[in-house]
Amino acid sequence: MQLSLTPDQSPNQSENLTGKAIAIHQKLCVEYGCPIAYFHNLDPLSELVSSLLSHRTKNKDSGRAFKQLRAAFLDWESVRDADTEAVKKAIAPCTWPEQKAPRIQQILRQITRERGTLSVDFLADISVAEARAWLETLTGVGPKTSAAVLAFSTLRRRALPVDSHHHRVAVRTGLIPKKVSVGPSHAILEAQLPENWTAQQVYDNHEVLMLHGQRCCHYRSPACDRCTILDLCLFGQQALGTNGGKH
Ligand code: SF4
């Protein structure tokens, strides 16, 4: 298995972290009921737009913005070629529509220029690594968006997105050091998962860690006293004073 090490990790530590990542996954899967149903059934280009709208926006608001955008324009070519003010108006429910509208149009133009057509369906025919690298050449597309396009769209590829909830649980349980931010955490956390896991299992891993962050491991006041992975979390044990004085 290829492991992605942070500078302060030895290979043994990484193997231990793989075992811990699997143990956390299994417990959270029991808690939240794996396999988790895919929440989107969008083609990859639509998923890309949806993902761009969702940056730092509540799901409910980005969902409304996406629906309004689809309703206001016939197709993505029409969005690409539209007056930016009209796009901005359509996506008004999400945060920063004045930045996201021109960014989305820029990306749609970039894809058309590079591919000769406004489609990213070709991503199905290349490796996940190549697909992610290509997506991340698009303006403003980073590891979270590239993973979301591949994992959440109808491509259903094996890629691990990491959002802020997922990241918080990973930091508190010691899967990644606190200093590793969301972007670089993608490669480290994905490398901890067994190579033979299916796309569904990798998707489940993201979903259960995210759900745990939303429902139990809150940003403020995590509910460690009712946490199903307390035995795997030194942060929680220390918070509750149940680690036997170990540091
Ligand atoms: S024990 Fe507490 S800090 Fe650790 S994962 Fe559970 S809720 Fe989060």
Q: Copy the structure tokens of residue 139.
A: 């303006």
Query: Percentages helix, strand, coil for the chain, rounded to the nearest 5?
Result: 60, 0, 40
Average pLDDT, the chain: 93
218 Cα: distance to centroid of ligand 1 (angstroms): 8
Q: Using pLDDT thresholds of 50, 70 and 90, give the confidence band for residue 13.
A: low
Count the neighbouring beta carbons within 10 Å of the beta carbon of residue 61. Answer: 16
210 Cα: distance to centroid of ligand 1 (angstroms): 13
DSSP string spanning 163-219?
A: -HHHHHHHHHTTSS-TTS-HHHHHHHHHHTS-TT--HHHHHHHHHHHHHHHHHTS-S
Per residue in 85-115, pLDDT (tens digit) is: 999 999 999 999 999 999 999 999 999 999 9
Q: Where are the domains of the chain?
A: 11-36+161-240, 44-152
Quote the pLDDT of residue 35: 98
Ligand 1: residue whose CA is nearest its atom 3 = 236
Ligand 1: residue whose CA is nearest its atom 8 = 217
Index of the ligand 1 atom closest to the CA of residue 168 = 8
Report the amino acid identity of residue 11: P
The structural architecture, per CATH, of the domain 11-36+161-240 is Orthogonal Bundle (1.10)
Q: Copy the structure tokens of residue 56.
A: 């730092």
pTM of the model as a whole: 0.90
161 Cα: distance to centroid of ligand 1 (angstroms): 20
Report the amino acid identity of residue 49: V
CATH pick for 44-152 out of 1.10.340.30, 1.20.1250.20, 3.40.50.720, 3.20.20.140:
1.10.340.30
